[in-house]
Structure 1
Amino acid sequence: MRETTLSLPQIGDRMSERAAPPLDVALREWIGPAGFARWSELRAWIDEFYPGVFVPDWLYGGKNRGWTLRYKKTKALTTLVPEFRRLSAIVVMGRAERERFEERRYAWRPELVTLYDNARTYVDGKWLTLPVSDGSDLQDVKDLLLMKRPPVSNV
């Protein structure tokens, strides 16, 4: 008899089924209830602070990168990455954002500064990938987004 190998997802695996962008029920199952709560909170927060500015856009990056949800107008605000049992947010920081980050360097959480220092800088900016594991991580993402682009209204 031939043995079949069942490949179970590993923490950090991407949603790579190409057929269609994932629905909320699949996202909740994939990233887990706590991750989905942070996913929902961050999406609602973006809608509240930037009303009518961004239309989230699902992007398929192939089998290895899977599905991501990008918030972009002319410049990207953030990209949310649903991973198996984990949620990450990507924030691309251009020159102006990096200068503002450095001005407040000692006010940020040490974990965020370490992620920032270890992130690669490309021609278009520093690509900072933030795992969103708890409320502190979620607040870091919100603070970076507020630094990157002031809210539309006085919320």
Structure 2
Amino acid sequence: MEHSPQIGDRLADKSAPPDDAMIRDWIGPEAFEHWTALRDWIEASYPGVFAPDWIYGGKKHGWSLRYKKSKAFCTFLPEYRAFSAVVVLGAAERQKAGAQRDKLSPRLMALYDEAETYHDGKWLKIGISSAEERQDVTELLALKRPRRAIA
């Protein structure tokens, strides 16, 4: 017997990557606004740099949208009635974050401080349900990779 989705459940049907309509239905219209705003910000800030690709992480982790060039930039996690982004900070990015502590939000720095450091960096999963939380993610991404000057 199938159970009803719970908040935070992932899209686990591996038959095909989800499209925008499926994402909007799964995460909800408000979260989808943040999804599209962050996606649009990445495309405008880093034109032609990333070709996002859907990756399937198995039944437990489901589908996620990865932005990667030579190194991972960020990953969007469509969760039932929620949207999160994962940002991995390597050693250089952790130094930058430490130097910018006073410019980053207290919420973001609390997430940063609580995140465990692994051999490949600190993995931050950031829930995005407001413009301020989305701004936190964009500031972190700008630490990872400076934005191109747009003429």
Runs of 4+ in 1 over 3 A off after TM superposition: none
Residues in 1 aligned to 2:136 and 2:24: alpha-carbon distance in whole angstroms: 22
Residues in 2 aligned to 1:35 and 1:25: alpha-carbon distance in whole angstroms: 13
**SS across alignment from 1:43:** helix
Q: Of 120, 130, 136, which aligns to 1:134?
A: 130
When the two structures are superposed, what TM-score results if normalisation uses the length of structure 2? 0.96
**Residues 107-154 of structure 1: CA deviation (Å, up to 9, x unaligned):** 221111111111121111100110001000000000111111011223
1:147 aligns with 2:143: yes
1:83 aligns with 2:70: no
Contact 2:104 2:139 in 1 (8 A): no
Contact 1:79 1:90 in 2 (8 A): yes
Contact 1:13 1:84 in 2 (8 A): yes
Q: Which residue of 2 aligns with 1:60?
A: 56
User: How many angstroms does 1:6 deviate by?
Assistant: 4.7
Structure 2 residue runs of 5 or longer lacking an equivalent are none
The alignment of Structure 1 onto Structure 2 pairs a total of residues equal to 151
Q: Which residue of 2 aligns with 1:116?
A: 112
> Over aligned residue pairs, what C-alpha RMSD do you find?
1.1
Q: Of 92, 95, 98, which aligns to 2:91?
A: 95
When the two structures are superposed, what TM-score results if normalisation uses the length of structure 1? 0.94
Q: Which has the larger radius of gyration?
A: 1
